[in-house]
């Protein structure tokens, strides 16, 4: 059995590796040889300590990712992930990859692939809701694939917003804390990276041609986007059956939802014109984790 520690995987992961692996995983998700199994939520001894098991199989890999969220952690990150690859000949564990940092890259990569596919080529203004760990990775991943010259940070608390601006500035991005309405009205791309359970903004604030990505809705009851927006926009996701069950599109009953893999393979259209509003829901699928793990093991 091979093992990559958190230190080793964090040293190996790059935005390019994550982008390439996640793009391949999104294509694999629409391959009839692949199966993505329903996510299984669970909790620790204390119910607010939560973990989720996501598993999948494809023609070349199978395994499970265990993602945990322990909110009381202060000395170490609250989020953690561990990926297990199954040996297809014996059924034993072939590899274990500790993937806390890797998971942040993987999640941001999914939104980057979607934006690279769906956002207007001239998109230069990014608005991000959220100031946490994941929101920071989202901004740098998107800045790699579009000419982002301004990041509007929408923050619940001024101190967190200021910290986010400092972080992005150190990464070479121009960032400013901006009220929600002004930020959305100015945006070419909007990313929501929160734990919200109600819409973060008004659909009327979204201007034509905007691309939006929701990555915080990954459980029943979570919600970041206004239903009126979902009713009017073109909807895309990593996996329709998961997105409409635990993702953002659980709030888009009856809407037509397209798997991004079908767009990447040319089986479905993406953006239709420069005025179209596109939405990508990233609820996160195990194939992304498995493909990233395989790519890391090839280097490690």
Show which residues are catalytic.
65
CA distance linking residue 246 with residue 236, whole number of Å? 15
Alpha-carbon distances, residue 265 vs 255, 262, 285, 299 (angstroms) = 22, 5, 18, 27
Q: Which residues pair with 53 in a beta bridge?
A: 40, 66
State the residue for tokens 């206004």: 226
Q: Do residues 135 and 167 touch, judged by C-beta distance below 8 A? A: no
State the DSSP H helix or E strand holding residue 53, giving kind and residue range, or none if neither.
strand 50-57
What ranges in 70-132 are assigned the alpha helix state H?
100-118
Backbone phi, then psi, for 12, in 5-degree steps? -90, -30
Angle between helices 286-299 and 100-118 (to 10 degrees): 110
């Amino acid at each position: 059995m091979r093992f990559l520690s958190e230190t080793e995987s964090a040293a190996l992961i790059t935005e390019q590796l994550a982008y390439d692996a996640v793009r391949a995983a999104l294509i694999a998700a629409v391959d009839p040889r692949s199966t993505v199994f329903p996510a299984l939520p669970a909790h620790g001894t204390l119910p607010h300590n939560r973990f989720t098991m996501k598993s999948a199989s494809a023609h070349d890999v199978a395994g499970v990712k265990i993602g945990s969220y322990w909110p009381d952690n202060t000395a170490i990150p609250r989020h953690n992930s561990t990926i297990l690859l199954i040996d297809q000949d014996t059924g034993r564990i072939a590899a274990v990859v500790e993937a806390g940092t890797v998971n942040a890259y993987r999640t941001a990569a999914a939104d980057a692939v979607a934006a690279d596919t769906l956002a207007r080529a001239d998109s230069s203004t990014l608005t991000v809701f959220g100031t946490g760990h994941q929101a920071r990775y989202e901004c740098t991943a998107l800045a790699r694939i579009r000419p982002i010259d301004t990041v509007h940070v929408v923050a619940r608390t001024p101190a967190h917003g200021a910290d986010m601006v400092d972080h992005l500035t150190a990464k070479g991005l121009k960032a400013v804390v901006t009220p929600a309405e002004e930020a959305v009205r100015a945006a070419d791309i909007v990313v929501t990276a929160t734990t919200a359970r109600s819409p973060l903004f008004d659909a009327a604030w979204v201007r034509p041609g905007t691309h939006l990505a929701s990555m915080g809705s990954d459980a029943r009851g979570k919600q970041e986007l206004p239903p009126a927006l979902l009713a009017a926009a073109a909807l895309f996701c990593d996996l329709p059956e998961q997105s409409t069950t635990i993702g953002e599109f659980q709030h888009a009953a009856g809407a037509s939802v397209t798997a991004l893999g079908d767009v990447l393979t040319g089986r479905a259209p993406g953006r239709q014109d420069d005025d179209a509003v596109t939405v990508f829901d990233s609820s996160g699928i195990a194939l992304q984790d498995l493909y990233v793990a395989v790519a890391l093991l090839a280097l490690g």
